[in-house]
A and B are shown apart, each in its own frame.
Chain A
Amino acid sequence: MRVRRLAAWTALPLAVTLGLAACGSGGDGGSGGSDSSAVSIQIAEPKHLVPTNTTETSGAQVLTGLFSPLVDYDAQNKPYEVAAQSITSSDNKVWTIKLKDGFTFHNGEKVTSEDYINAWNYGAYAPNGQDSNFFFEKIAGYADLQGKAPKAKEMSGLKKVDDLTFTATLSEPYIDFKTTLGYTAFYPMPDAAFSAPGVLKDSYEQAPIGQGPFKMKGTWQHDSKIDVERYDAYPGEKPKVKNIEFRIYQQLTAAYADVLADNLDVLPTIPTESLSTAPTDLGDRYRTSPMSSFQFLAFPTFDKDYSNPDVRKAISMAIDRDEITKSVFKGSQTSARSFVSPVLPGYRENTAGKAGEFNPTEAKKLYQAAGGPSKIVISYNGDGGHKDWVDATVNQLKANLGVDAVGSAEPKFADLLTKVEKKTPVGAFRMGWVMDYPTMEDYLGPLYSTNGSSNYYGYSNPEFDKLVKEGSAAKTQDEAIAKYQQAEDLLAKDMPVIPLRFGENVFGHSSKVKNVEMDLFQRVNLVKIEAAS
């Protein structure tokens, strides 16, 4: 009996401590009070909520509510001023940015030109490790802020003129600079964000202070939600709803179940598994709209199997794009036969020409004549839901070219890129692109320039580089577009990659909201959305 009692007394406190240690901190997590009037929007846990450190959609979605950009894009995707009064330049090199009067940060601070200069310098200073660092590379003096021990802390190209005006001098003329200013990285940050000049407060990210239509309500509740409410002193177009809850989901399928049960208001991406049932599940609350994503198949042009452009063209002609978009993607993507997205000014249909047409007999002839490899491998990342379309493509290549073809999955896109960079033979590989701002340059420069940041296929054509450069330095938009289009024509000739599909926003909403619109960057328009009464 003694032993038993002793054991009970020992076991009990152990069990209790375990339980208490576990529950001790409970309850204080997310008891912000659930406001039933709030509109809820699905996001994933953002990586960061600092303008210069946010490059993924979820973080950008939250920041579009908290900040107001210098420019936004109209229906033709041309930039128009929002927080800026005017953005002008006579030579496309020195840009004068005049701010609208009346903008205040959510803490009451007036927005001045210095807030922009400070924020941009913070983003460009390499030791701060900001994800959007390279967005500032066109500004003069950017190079001095790079490396382990940079020479300067401020870009020489940014100069304050008065409280509401500043100039940005670029290292080279760049006609699309105004367009780029709509990107997240170019938001201002208030003095309150910094603890010392150039040092961001740790707490800023937990409750970013912006100058946009919404302000933070409480702090970022990690893995749970981010609540914002309407900022009444916002001088621009007033939002229709008072509160927005960005609810964080780890899995889209969970969010989808919540939309079906009217438990969540907006789901910006329907999960692939539910694409076929969503139109019937949601009825007219199942929606699609244009988006800027571009899926393509890239070739290691340095590999002698794929170095002949005719081989690449033949492979392109052997793929029935329409069939795949219909059977695999249920029409949620459209076939691509050009190298830039249809949403852009300057887009032309079928720039890939004959190589974009599905023509199995011609393809086989061309492939054999060009001496293509007897086995085609298509590598993809296994974590991104690419297996289905790669398998379909591989089967088409087998049937139409009479070669052996297989899909090969890498665990992650990063693993694939590492292999490609080391020139490990992976065969052809899938790539995707989503624009940062609506210019043709954003599709051409990074992807195909000799030193392009995402040129993983070793494509190098001096003529192409020259045309893109001339386009950037052009005097007028029309002239720039003409140059870019000439560059695109070179791509059609060389085919370093073959265009496959353009994406669409495929989204759904509950019956409690209306006027749900999504932009080209996969973000819900927070000003337009309304509660359905």
Chain B
Amino acid sequence: MFRYILRRLLQMVLAFFGTTLIVYALTFAGQGDPIQALAGERPVTPAQRAYLTEKYNLDQTGVGGFFYRYFDYVKDLLQGNLGESLTGRSIGDILQQAWPVTVRLALIALAVAIIFGVTAGVLAGIRRASIFDNSTLVLTLLVLGIPTIVLAPLAQYFLGVKWQLFPPTAGSDPTFYALLLPGIVLGSLSLATALRLTRASVAENLRADYVRTARSKGLVKRRIVIVHVLRNSLIPVVTFLGVELGNLMSGAIITEGVFNIPGVGFNLFRGIRTEDGPLVVGIVSVLVVVYLVSNLVVDVLYAVLDPRIRYE
């Protein structure tokens, strides 16, 4: 087990540098003129161009210049310094502010997905072909079909503006209540997938031999479902939710924009829009770490759920 985790951690280091290199290359390859982008629609004065070129090492061009900047970046990164965005703010500070609110949002979304998705999935799995099962299937189909970019403004308009059940936007230091609506919107997509995964898995496991054995031993149905079926059915769901956590962090771009939550997605969106290469790379590097760690947690959790899985 220890050896397994150690090996995974070493792999993570490799994966981290590989992904950041690719992201760095892509970000800077697709970039037009970052200095002009920074200045917006105004002409850039030569003095300012010289100042910014020097500050961001933009005078190093070509492949050599790329690696020069990349190694410069990695060197800073190893010292825990994410560098400065093109607007001159420390990316570390930006992330420190953006992180907590995004994590809260993602956790609410995840909780929504688990509480409603898994519960409804189990119920639907047990009562296959019932009215409940069919109606949840139709509902999830509907939710999966509506993209967040439609769902979020609709929810904001009806629940926030029209009926005033929730505040229409959350702001930077939101209460739990203010984050609830964006959390539900964000979680609805994973909710639908989690529901369908659970349902299929539960339905399949209900037909398994061990369930029949348990039933013939005279175990109560509730105990069979909760202890035996659910635990075995959760493996695909946990895999999905683990990866989804990473998705929720980065995928909050639209939701955070619509509900004005200055989190990670909000900053990533701004970085992309203003061609702020350092900011994009900085955020993505951190997101890569989140993905890697949540994947590791998922893999280790398998062993908890199913004792037959062993790591050597």
Chain A interface residues toward B at CB < 8 A: 1, 3-4, 6-8, 10-11, 14-15, 18-19, 22-27, 29-31, 45, 47-48, 55-56, 126-131, 133-134, 146-148, 221-225, 247-251, 253-255, 257-258, 260-261, 263, 383, 411-415, 417-418, 432, 453-454
Find out whether the CB atom of A8 lies under 8 angstroms from the CB atom of B47.
no
Task: Assess A453 versus B43: contact at CB under 8 Å? Given A261-B164, A263-B169.
Answer: yes
In the complex, A94→B178 CA distance in Å? 58
21 A-B pairs (CB sep. < 8 Å): A3-B1, A3-B311, A4-B307, A11-B300, A14-B293, A25-B100, A29-B101, A47-B87, A55-B40, A129-B48, A147-B47, A148-B50, A224-B173, A248-B172, A254-B168, A254-B258, A254-B259, A260-B168, A261-B167, A412-B275, A418-B33
A123 to chain B, nearest CB (A): 11
Inside 8 A of A19's CB, which chain B residues have their CB? Answer: 103, 107
- A30 closest partner in B (C-beta): B173
Beta-carbon nearest neighbor of A32 in chain B = B173
Say whether, besides A7-B300, A25-B100, A133-B48, A225 and B172 are in contact (CB < 8 Å).
Answer: yes
The answer on a CB contact under 8 Å between B260 and A250 is yes
- Which residues of A lie under 8 Å from residue B48 when comparing CB positions? 126, 129-131, 133
The answer to whether the Cβ of B3 comes within 8 Å of any Cβ in the partner chain is: no
For residues 200 through 247 of chain B, which have their beta carbon under 8 Å from a beta carbon of chain A?
A: none
Q: How long is the Cα–Cα vector from A248 to B258 in the complex, in angstroms?
A: 13
Partner of A126, one of B51, B97, B167: B51
Give the A-B pair count, Cβ closer than 8 A: 186
Inter-subunit contact B103/A257 (CB<8 Å): no
Question: With contacts A25-B96, A129-B52, A411-B32 known, is A223 near B172, CB below 8 A?
Answer: yes
Known contacts A19-B103, A412-B275, A418-B36; A1/B307 CB under 8 A: yes
User: Which residues of A lie under 8 Å from residue B43 when comparing CB positions?
Assistant: 417, 453-454
Report whether B303 and A412 are in contact in the complex, using a CB–CB cutoff of 8 Å: no
Whether B297 pairs with A15 at a CB distance below 8 angstroms is yes
Interface contact B297-A250, CB-CB below 8 Å: no
CB neighbours (8 Å) of A26 from chain B are 99-101, 103-104
Give the complex CA separation of A258 and B307 in angstroms.
52
Q: How far is the CA of A253 from the CA of B150 in the complex (A)?
A: 13
Measured CB to CB, the residues of B under 8 A from A are 1, 5, 32-33, 36-37, 39-43, 45-48, 50-52, 55, 87-89, 93-94, 96-101, 103-104, 107, 153, 156-157, 160-161, 164, 167-169, 171-173, 256-260, 262, 266-267, 269-270, 273, 275, 290, 293-294, 296-297, 300-301, 303-304, 307, 310-311
Contact call A415/B32, Cβ cutoff below 8 A:
yes
Contacts A18-B297, A415-B32 given; indicate if A10 touches B5 (C-beta within 8 A).
yes
In the docked arrangement, what's the CA distance between A111 and B294, Å?
57
Once bound together, how far apart are the Cα atoms of A47 and B300, in whole Å?
Answer: 44
Chain A residues closer than 8 Å to B303, beta-carbon distance: 3-4, 7
A27 nearest CB neighbor, chain B only = B100
List the 6 shortest-distance A-B pairs measured between CB atoms, nearest first: A26-B100, A224-B172, A129-B51, A223-B262, A126-B47, A414-B36
Residues of chain A within 8 A of B100, CB atoms compared: 22-27, 29
Asked if A129 contacts B47 (CB within 8 A), the reply is yes
Q: Are A7 and B297 in contact (CB under 8 A)?
A: no
Give A131 to B241 CA distance when docked, in angstroms: 46
Given contacts A7-B301, A258-B169, A261-B167, contact A25 B40 (CB under 8 A): no
Q: Are B32 and A257 closer than 8 Å at their CB atoms?
A: no
Instruction: Name B55's closest neighbour in chain A (CB-CB).
Output: A129
Tell whether A146 pairs with B47 under 8 Å between CB atoms, given A6-B1, A223-B172, A260-B168.
yes
Bound complex: CA A27 to CA B174 (Å)? 10
Shortest A412–chain B CB gap in Å is: 6
Residues of chain B within 8 A of A47, CB atoms compared: 87
Q: Which residues of A contact B273 (CB under 8 A)?
A: 383
Q: Contacts of A1 on B, CB cut-off 8 Å?
A: 307
**Which residue on B lies nearest to A411, using beta carbons?**
B32
A23 to B267, CA, bound (A): 18
A31 neighbours in B (Cβ, 8 Å): 173
